[in-house]
Structure 1
Amino acid sequence: MRLRYLNKTTIIILVTAALFGCKKLDVSRKDVYTDDNFWQVNANAFNALSTCYSQQISGGYGGSSSASQAYFYNEALSDNAFCPLDVNVGTPTQISSGSDANFNPGINRVKYEWASYYTNIRSCNLFLENVDKNTTLGTALITRMKAEARYLRAHAYFRLTNFFGDVPLITKVQTPEEAKVTPKTPKAEVVTFILTELDAAAADLPKKEDFAAADKGRITKGAAKAMKARVLLYNARWAECSAVCEDLMNNQSVNGNYSLQASFPDIFSATNKYNSEIISDLGYQPKDRRWTDWADFGPFYTGPNATAATNNNLVPTQDLVESFLTLDGKNIFEAGSGYDVDNAPYANRDPRLGYTVVYDKYVWVNNLGNSQIIYIKPGTAPDASNKKNEAGPTATTSGYYWRKYFDPTADNGTFNYGENIIIQRWAEVLLMEAEAKAMQGQMDATVWDNTIKKLRERAGFTKSVALNYPGNTTMTMIDQVRNERRSELAFESLRYDDIKRWKIAETVLNHPPGNEVRGAKFAAGNTAFLKLVVRTFNPAKHYLWPIPTESLQTDPNLTQNPGW
């Protein structure tokens, strides 16, 4: 069964069921769903689980941004991107400004981030408490469905701990009275719960090959283990993380067969969903679940299945562009790199730069296979028809556009994409293994060849100095691995969490007046870097988000995070 959003009737039914769950009826009615008969209907059980799926990555609470918005615009909380107009997309620029006026316990984004995940948790709790009432689905299927819900609940708690640290651990549907007296649980205890739940889910879930074709997109054994590895990585449990990664790498007959796609852009193709690299994703079926955000990410372009964007609202930064290595494995600022910022800044660079970012004089290929040159440097377009992509307030404010996730198969004249949003893919497992080994001082040629080398080969590196251990750079091994993660996974909603868990956020995000976040070298007659925004990251408080004011007011047992 493919995953779909519920229609209004189904939502009403679920809400009705939840309300009846507060008090047992004396007489079971046959003309409406009650607590006695709701779960006996197979379709209701499936729809209840689909609700749990649909509430992943924020978006599960009224007024919050959609899942795709939260996924993409989280990049603007990091040093990878800047969002010029952020009011309707989760206010990442206001938050990254660090000012108390813009980032505080009362803002909508903080409230929605908290509430959406607890909405998801409540949906999972409701499902887990009641699905056993069904007597027709069978024990095996119900066990699998419960494992899916346990994974989804664990993932919601993982996201909450990343944002807020200590959070209330709620494992049953609460009454309104109970919800008002629930204290926070120490993060370590919540993480233990998450890991236990992921282990239990993995034990009861099939590997991906054992799901029917109609069930593609459901959580699998491999997804549960890969998420466990991510949780361990984020909590600096390096040896345990490595053990899970190696289990996934070495026991694919048990966990599922995963491998790198031969072509990097093909990973994100709408015609290549559920490919060998995908471990878990948000399934966006044609005509059902869609996302349109890329309309504000890419350049203006032509073709029958395309339309012009009205502005560019999520732009790559110069810092991100500078992080991509040269083809011989050097950081661009190292001696002998050949980097020429004025004449050829994008030549001789990691091919993933061109797969991720559109830069000046980029050769764009549209959905017909036709190519055009994207002129971004002001004053360089050869004619008026090419000037629409030049850097400026109605085009790109940074001098760059996003390339990753472009889908040339969107509906005619729209940006209604059915392309899936990737939660985890095989490349991340390799990167987690590399990082865990490097942090333990155990990186060697064998680990490198199984991780970093494979990713660079797939990206298009050919020089042995870049491909072979220990790399061709003065960067430390830890910094090489971290930089590889950034280049591979840019625009995949991971960078903000990474810079926080590495405790480098105050270094890479602090940009006071005079040292603003930079764009391309297109200012002052193309002689200076564009200056985009002032950012402030206070390590005394910003590593955790504040508990929402509303929640503190309704539950006096909650306490605010330090500094807020």
Structure 2
Amino acid sequence: MKKHIVLLFVAIMTLSTCSDWLDVVPDGVATLDMAFNSRTQALKYLATCYSYMPKNGGSADPATLGGDDIWTRKTTHFSNRFSLAGLDISEGNQNATNPVLPRWNNMYQALRVCNTFLENVDKVPDLQAWEREQWTAEAKVLKAYYHFSLVQMYGPVPLIRENMPVDADVYAVKVERDPVDECFDYIVELLDEATEGDMLPTFVLDPASDYGRITKPIALSLKAKVLVTAASPLFNGNNDQATLKNHDGTPLFDTTFKPEKWEAAMKACKEAIDICHEAGMMLYKYEDAAKRYNDTTVLNITLRNAFNLRSNSEIIWANTQMISIPTSGGMIHASMPKLNPDYINSNDICKWLGMPIKIAEMFYTENGVPLDEDKNRNIGDLYNLRTATSKDRLYIRQGRTTVDMHFDREPRFYAWVGFDGGVWFGAGQYNDKDPSSLRYLAFKIGETDGTEGQGNWTGYIPKKYIPYEAQLNAINNISSPSYAWPIMRLSDLYLLYAEAINEAEGPAGANSADLFHYIDLVRARAGLQGVKESWDNYTNNQKYTTQAGMREIIQTERLIELAFEGHRFWDIRRWKTAPSEYHTPLKGWNMMVSTIDGTEEEVNRMMYQPQLLAEQKFGIRDYFWPIRTSDIEANPNLVQNIGW
């Protein structure tokens, strides 16, 4: 961001009539006069504003490999198609000379483009008044989103309210960072302007061509997330950032905790929920009208579709800049197992992305409580071997031996986590009346999904990324539905509301009924009892009666419900729990065990020995990205983040 001037030339994007609103490709450049001389050209420019959206859920997203929930080895040969740069973040190798996966330049370019659109949209001669209002509101929401993306990553940033004129004094463009509270205030101001009256529609007019365009539910849900973030410990009374000041001494963080921030967040969450309900949104449930499957399978499909079924009933906002497709380098391809013994010799489909043991342990038991709190579980038995029986047959292959911790877990574990012996409904096999016909994962070397030195190193894969219909249709080729990456689902919003109520009032305040109602809706969709029932019946504590205990429950619920979607990376930062999470060593099972290494019992015992995968690092400086050294040299008014 060396100069903030009006762009004279911008990339113009074409809109495909048979595809998504944001599924755009460059088709040349045009002057500003050309860009706004007709409705068609202005619409292309608006698409350009959208085109800068951060690529959620891919190798360019720091939340994919920069956290502690998804991991792979840097030596994997898949790295030539799927960037492993995010591992440098989790390993403590971030740097100021060449920051890893930064957003600074791209987001500021996006803001200049949005400002240019807002400054020129009134010039379009054939644009109807309602369209002008709607497009203006969309651009303001995008401005808010891009500023928010910068604040999440860098903390206090220079606000770009309008573009600098081309003849601006050189000192005018050498901007300073604005205090973080002012950043949040401006983001909310933009969202309030965009949601005033009926400027934005409640839902897109044409789902076939406008999927991904901003609506009022999107704008208000973004406002809810922004205000929850602003109220969270990272930004609300954070003494760790007390020394971050501009050169003139202006503090960039207010170190005083302000409880009214949680009040504002609570109100914004409820407003967003109300408009989402008005738009007909609801937690997704698979309707088995033909009664083909039993209840266990229906719930499994429900939970998998809730994330990866395109435009289902709970997707508030999906990023169609990031379409998950089964091609090389995508999330489906990076996670897909072979499953079918016919393709055991595939050297390309090797479930490259894995999860550490601690993430598998995070999911609840079948009783809806943590493993270490369930009074019906012996925590010392978790790594003991156990063989699946007929009662387990829809979750674990009957007769297969695995560890005790894989048994009697909540449905989300089986729907979203792949593990050795785990049944994999779909992939061409759908007869749940005959569980022995269903696919299952076989991870030992010599079996269908054995690693043989490449591929998965943890013993777990993020099954959530893969639609249940996905399958190999050739030795190295996947057939799968595609989907746009969900930025925000209704379950996310419900849990934000529960969190805001608890932080503002505690679990026994005026809105306590809503607190338990909305978290219990998420749990009920996952096949679990409510919080009170679960803790009363299956634990020896009533932690939900205290604010601290309820905070732990809500945070765990978010980490489970939104697992592998990129939220954990930012949540543990805003909660300031990142150090404890990152400092827990990443471990996996012994994936180099072969079926010929001994008897079946010996092989299983060798496999289920935890192996150290990586030691991660996290310090105070890692909460925020460094500003590139060259940018600070170009603009000495910018102060660097603490520790860099």
How far apart in 1 are the matches of 2:193 and 2:265? 17
How far apart in 1 are the matches of 2:263 and 2:580? 27
User: TM-score, normalized by length of structure 1?
Assistant: 0.83
Q: Call closer, same or farther: CA 1:243–1:206 in 2, change over 3 Å.
A: same
Matched, 1:198 2:198: no
Residues 467-502 of structure 1: CA deviation (Å, up to 9, x unaligned)? 588984645211111000011001111111111111
1:558 matched residue in structure 2: 638
Q: Call closer, same or farther: CA 1:317–1:351 in 2, change over 3 Å.
A: same
Give the alignment of 1:469-548 within 5 angstroms: 472=539, 474=541, 476-511=549-584, 516-520=585-589, 525-526=606-607, 528-539=609-620, 541-548=621-628
Q: Call closer, same or farther: CA 1:303–1:235 in 2, change over 3 Å.
A: farther
How far apart in 2 are the matches of 1:278 and 1:421? 10
1:440 matched residue in structure 2: 504
What's the CA shift for 1:292?
2.3
Q: Give the total of aligned pairs.
A: 516
What's the CA shift for 1:155?
0.7
Q: Which runs of 5+ in 1 are unaligned?
A: 18-34, 59-66
How far apart in 2 are the matches of 1:406 and 1:154? 31
Whether the 8 Å CA contact 2:364–2:410 is kept in 1: the answer is yes
What's the CA shift for 1:335?
5.7
> Matched residue of 1:223: which SS?
helix
Bigger shift: 206-215 or 492-501? 206-215
What's the CA shift for 1:551?
1.3
Whether the 8 Å CA contact 1:303–1:368 is kept in 2: the answer is no
1:217 matched residue in structure 2: 212
Matched, 1:77 2:66: yes
> Matched residue of 2:614: which SS?
coil
Q: Call closer, same or farther: CA 1:403–1:335 in 2, change over 3 Å.
A: closer
1:107 matched residue in structure 2: 98
Whether the 8 Å CA contact 2:283–2:490 is kept in 1: the answer is yes
What's the CA shift for 1:336?
2.1
Q: Call closer, same or farther: CA 1:119–1:369 in 2, change over 3 Å.
A: farther
How far apart in 2 are the matches of 1:360 and 1:429? 33
1:429 matched residue in structure 2: 493
Output the amino acid matched with 1:81: I
How far apart in 2 are the matches of 1:364 and 1:113? 37
Bigger shift: 275-284 or 154-163? 275-284
Bigger shift: 543-552 or 210-219? 210-219
Q: Call closer, same or farther: CA 1:54–1:76 in 2, change over 3 Å.
A: same
What's the CA shift for 1:72?
6.0
Whether the 8 Å CA contact 1:547–1:560 is kept in 2: the answer is yes
1:349 matched residue in structure 2: 409
Q: Call closer, same or farther: CA 1:215–1:527 in 2, change over 3 Å.
A: closer
Matched, 1:238 2:262: yes
Q: Choose the corresponding residue for 2:339, options 301, 309, 321.
A: 301
Whether the 8 Å CA contact 2:350–2:449 is kept in 1: the answer is no
What's the CA shift for 1:144?
0.4
Bigger proportion of residues as strand = 2
Output the amino acid matched with 2:284: Q
1:26 matched residue in structure 2: none
RMSD between aligned residues? 3.2
Whether the 8 Å CA contact 1:245–1:429 is kept in 2: the answer is yes
Q: Choose the corresponding residue for 1:229, options 224, 228, 233.
A: 224
2:353 matched residue in structure 1: 314
Q: Choose the corresponding residue for 1:277, options 293, 311, 314.
A: 314
Whether the 8 Å CA contact 2:216–2:275 is kept in 1: the answer is no
> Matched residue of 2:617: which SS?
coil
Output the amino acid matched with 1:8: P
How far apart in 1 are the matches of 2:274 and 2:115? 34
Give the alignment of 1:22-421 within 5 angstroms: 35-58=32-55, 67-70=56-59, 74-85=63-74, 89=83, 91-98=85-92, 102-110=93-101, 112-174=102-164, 175=166, 181-203=174-196, 204-209=198-203, 211-213=205-207, 214-236=209-231, 237-250=261-274, 256-262=279-285, 263-270=302-309, 273-283=310-320, 292-302=330-340, 309-334=348-373, 336-338=375-377, 340-341=381-382, 342-343=384-385, 344-370=404-430, 371-376=438-443, 378=444, 384=446, 387-390=447-450, 393-407=453-467, 408=469, 413-414=477-478, 418-421=482-485
2:397 matched residue in structure 1: none
Whether the 8 Å CA contact 1:264–1:355 is kept in 2: the answer is yes
How far apart in 1 are the matches of 2:172 and 2:83? 29
How far apart in 1 are the matches of 2:478 and 2:459? 24
Residues 322-369 of structure 1: CA deviation (Å, up to 9, x unaligned)? 111112233212362425422321111121111211012011234323
How far apart in 2 are the matches of 1:258 and 1:468? 29
> Matched residue of 2:162: which SS?
coil
Residues 21-51 of structure 1: CA deviation (Å, up to 9, x unaligned)? xxxxxxxxxxxxxx43430122221111112
Matched, 1:450 2:468: no
Q: Call closer, same or farther: CA 1:258–1:548 in 2, change over 3 Å.
A: same
Q: Call closer, same or farther: CA 1:553–1:496 in 2, change over 3 Å.
A: same
Whether the 8 Å CA contact 2:63–2:570 is kept in 1: the answer is no
Whether the 8 Å CA contact 2:66–2:88 is kept in 1: the answer is no
How far apart in 1 are the matches of 2:106 and 2:537? 44
How far apart in 1 are the matches of 2:263 and 2:347? 49
What's the CA shift for 1:430?
0.7
Identity, in percent, stands at 25
Output the amino acid matched with 2:137: A
Bigger shift: 366-375 or 355-364? 366-375
Output the amino acid matched with 1:230: K
What's the CA shift for 1:304?
11
Q: Call closer, same or farther: CA 1:127–1:182 in 2, change over 3 Å.
A: same
